[in-house]
Amino acid sequence: MTENEISNIVIGLAIDVHRGLGPGLLENAYKECLYFKINQAGLFVEKEKAMPLIFEDVYLDCGYRVDLLVEKKLIIELKSVDSLTDIHLAQTLTYLKLGKHKLGLLINFNEILLKNGIRRVVNNL
């Protein structure tokens, strides 16, 4: 399954979660529910996946954690904020680069319509 196919499935599942919960909750509530839905859909998903930093050939565990990693290909970074900013996009792109992944979804659940809070972040796709 390609990154794009996985992302289409995950977006649909995120919309289901948002329809069920609505905006206004903490990020962790959405993460747990989306994790459950992705598992239920039969996809392999890792929660709070450690993202090490390698600097000058030294492996550094700096505590970076990706919210969700689906099928070892798609990074999902979740937010529940007033609006997404450039720093949120930069964070997601950094995770893509650190993990050598091609595609990420930055999803802000604090929107009336979830589609307004979804950003695809691409790293050499």
63 compared with 30, residue with greater pLDDT: 30
Domain positions in the chain: 3-122
53 pLDDT band, cuts 50/70/90, is confident
85 pLDDT band, cuts 50/70/90, is very high
Whether pLDDT at 62 is above 90: no
Mean pLDDT of 8-32: 98
How far is Cα of residue 56 from the mean position of the Cα atoms in its chain? 27
53 phi, psi to nearest 5 deg:
-110, 130
Please tell me the predicted confidence (pLDDT) of residue 61. Answer: 76
Calculate the average pLDDT of the chain.
Answer: 94
* Torsion, CA 99, CA 11, CA 35, CA 48, rounded to 10: 20
38 pLDDT band, cuts 50/70/90, is very high
Please tell me the predicted confidence (pLDDT) of residue 125. Answer: 65
Mean pLDDT of 90-96: 94
| Percent of the chain as helix, strand, coil, to the nearest 5 | 40, 30, 30
Name the packing angle between helices 3-21 and 27-40 (round to 10°): 120
pTM metric for this prediction = 0.93
Q: What is the CATH number of domain 3-122?
A: 3.40.1350
Residue with tokens 């900013």: 85
Extended strands (E) in 1-124: 45-50, 53-55, 58-60, 65-70, 74-79, 103-108, 118-122
Cross-strand bridge partners of residue 77 = 106
